[in-house]
Amino acid sequence: MTKGLVNKKRRVHFTPDNVDIIVEEGANLLQVAIDAGVHISASCGGAGVCGTCKVLIKEGEVESTRTEKLSDQEYEQGLRQACQSRVLTDLTVYVPVESRLERAVLARESKGMAEALATGWRFNPPVSKLFVKLPPPTLEDNASDLSRVLRGLKQQYKLRNMTVDFDVVEKLPQILRDSDWKVTVTTLVTAVEPRAVDRRRPRVINVEPGDTRERHYSLAFDIGTTTVCGQLLDLNRGKVIAQGIDYNQQISYGEDVITRIAYCQKPGGLQKLQQVVVATINGVIRQLSSQSQVDVEHISHLTVAGNTTMIQILLGLDPKYIRLAPYTPAANFIPPVKASSVGIRVGGHVYLFSFPLVASYVGGDIISGIVGSGVYQREKLTFYMDIGTNGEIVIGNSEWMVTAACSAGPAFEGGGVRHGMVATNGAIEEFDISPSNLEPVIGTIGGEKPKGICGSGLINIIAGLLEAGVIAQDGKFNTNLPTKRVRQGSDGYEYVLAWAAETQIGRDIVITESDIDNLIRAKAAMYAGCQTLAKSTVIACAKFDQVIIAGAFGSHIDVEKGITIGLFPDVPRDRFTFIGNGSLLGARLVSFSTDILDDARRVAKMMTNFELSENADFMNNYVAALFLPHTNADEFPSVKEKLFGLQKVN
């Protein structure tokens, strides 16, 4: 049934958000929700294959293509995949709890942010405000306005040979006269070329009337595939004065970078994704400004860190070749660009600094994390791991560094898992199991009734099931156990974590063999990456002096459980450090210190990237790691002892 009518207007009302939008008959319902600002999960970017965008049509009629992602029961209840539905009449649409993204709990991710680990840096922000009092011009001294300002900077601050943004010249004459020749000059070190401190040539980027030094702020952002986190920094006091976070609005166009890159290849796709991530950033800037009561016009600088795809899309650089072998990014060192030129709502003088990056899948967020955590400053051998859909790892110290991206897949973020979900309210995170009756004890984020399982929950559950003998080392269920929680499901065997009545979704929440298999593959990719990199440097994983786990998700993993399933290397537990959002950490430090800015460039240059995707050694290691914790038990002696204590040998 395809209606040829166009231009008929229909009203769509979304609950529980209580948002109305008028659209044309025939409009795609997922797009309608995006336009209305209603966030619906759509992991596959609207291709119809993930089934995460289910909505309930409470009133009215849609034209919908049914896929196997909807059960008969769901279809009869009125559930439809938003991406597969077109508006026919006025509608009332209910977005079920499991399809919703909840903003309130995002703030959780910013807790536990580690303090800076990088040390020894001086507080010398790349952007400075300098107050100059100038003698007014006379007939004897009628040098140009700009020359007068530069002379003032030379006399009062020993700055010479500065470059000047043309825009400054435009407003200079009026500002000088309006302010009685007392002005504040903003300068920026772009550090495109690292130089000795005394040879740096800061650029004059702004001039303001009077003495505005007291109002001197900077923004640090982590542009994540899922969330965008920002901090407002007071550059006079060197501290964070506001912190904000939101979902990256690009989520509605696909959950991972590959889906996003694919979307960019559609006509207008790149522009659209750029526009929505900029809208997200602008929203976070509004949060920061309102929290802190700081006027946006007093922000002097913006530092962003993110993976290569996120940064390229933000800057309008087509990410097409990131996805195609041999996976080249547009640039490793991105030239300075005005933040306003990409649509970010800050003053026209504000430059956007984006971290240098190493490769298509080892982005500026990794450099930011390495710099922020000070790995490059220490002699001790560090293993740095940023866990997520695109897991990245680094091994090295102050002398050398190797890095690689491991395509772990979305399991850590709840993707490809029957009841997987992002780490928001209602996600099962804590898990314990009674050895006697194999009954679970679960804890959810926010303490609500469960509605799904987040990535760290998944690790805890699998480790618990393994230790209790409910699953074997190959991830298969022991089907001879005296519990009705282990049962045959539609995808093979499964374990019931919560009965329907105990949940928010009215269905049993289970973990299936297929889910476990997905997680094993994800952790195997990370560990195989670690082994492959380590081998390339003739080091064993057990020899790491320090293990740094980055990523908001990573912070919630229990070290012991992470080792039990073979995700983390089996080193003494006190060598582990969790730094939370390492990307944001580094972005903040760069805002505070030009030394760190120089270091970032140096670190990016010294890092050697390994492409694992077609590496034979990696494939062997990967296959060997498809076991809990590993086919070679000697890689995990402490787990071996825990699981098979009696068999301990040597």
Choice from 60, 209, 316, 343 touching its own copies (CB under 8 A):
316
In the complex, minimum distance from the CB of residue 330 to its own copies, in angstroms, rounded to a whole number = 5
3-class state of residue 286 by DSSP:
helix
How many Å from the N-terminal Cα to the C-terminal Cα in the chain? 72
Query: Which of these ranges, 22-30, 145-153, 479-487, 532-540, lies near its own copies under the rule CB under 8 A?
Result: 145-153
For its own copies, the binding residue among 71, 155, 156, 174 (CB under 8 A) is 174
In angstroms, what is the minimal distance from the CB of 139 to its own copies?
5
Q: In the numeric block, which tokens belong to residue 641?
A: 């002892």
Q: Are 387 and 576 in contact (CB under 8 A)?
A: no
Give the containing element (helix H, strand E) for 144: none
Phi, psi of 431 (to 5 degrees): -150, 135
Among the listed residues 85, 243, 360, 546, the single contact to its own copies using CB under 8 A: 360
Nearest to its own copies of 10, 260 (CB atom): 260
Q: Binding to its own copies (CB under 8 A): which residues in 189-208?
A: 192-193, 201
CA distance 420 to 13: 28
Q: Give the separation between CA 329 and CA 363, rounded to whole angstroms.
A: 9
Site for its own copies in 614-633 (CB under 8 A): 614
146 vs 633 by CB, closer to its own copies: 146
Return phi, psi of residue 133, to 5°: -105, 120
Q: Which H or E element spans position 229?
A: strand 227-234
CB of 207 to its own copies, least distance (A): 12
Count residues near its own copies (CB under 8 A): 53
Closer residue to its own copies (CB): 78 or 336: 336
Smallest gap from residue 31 Cβ to its own copies (A) = 27
221: left (phi over 0), alpha (psi -120 to 50) or beta: beta
Binding mask 226-265 for its own copies (x = CB under 8 A): ----------------------------------------
Draw the binding track, 78-117, toward its own copies (x: CB under 8 A; -: no contact): ----------------------------------------
> Rounded CA gap, 139 and 648, in Å?
94
**Which residue's CB is nearer to its own copies, number 364 or number 562?**
364
Q: How far is the CB of 335 from its own copies (least distance, A)?
A: 5
Closest approach of its own copies to the CB of residue 395, in Å: 19
Residues 6+ apart with CB under 8 A from 538: none
Q: Which is nearer to its own copies, 86 or 171 (CB)?
A: 171
606 binds its own copies (CB under 8 A): no
Cβ–Cβ < 8 Å for 625, 570: no
Which of 550, 427, 422 minimizes the C-alpha distance to 113?
A: 550
Tell me the β-bridge partners of 359: 362
327: contact with its own copies by CB under 8 A: yes
Contact 328, 288 (CB under 8 A): no
Give the one residue of 330, 496, 624, 643 binding its own copies; rule: CB under 8 A: 330
Distance (Å, whole) CA 347 – CA 338: 9
Contact window for its own copies (CB under 8 A) among 242-250, 332-340, 458-466, 533-541:
332-340
Q: Which two tokens stand for residue 265?
A: 């290849």
Q: Does 154 bind its own copies (CB under 8 A)?
A: no
Q: DSSP string spanning 50-103?
A: S-TTEEEEEES-EEE---TTS-HHHHHHTEEEGGGEEE-S-EEEE--GGGB--S
**Residues that bind its own copies in the complex, under the rule CB under 8 A:** 137-148, 161, 163-166, 168-170, 172-174, 177, 192-193, 201, 315-318, 320-321, 325-337, 357, 359-360, 609, 611, 613-614
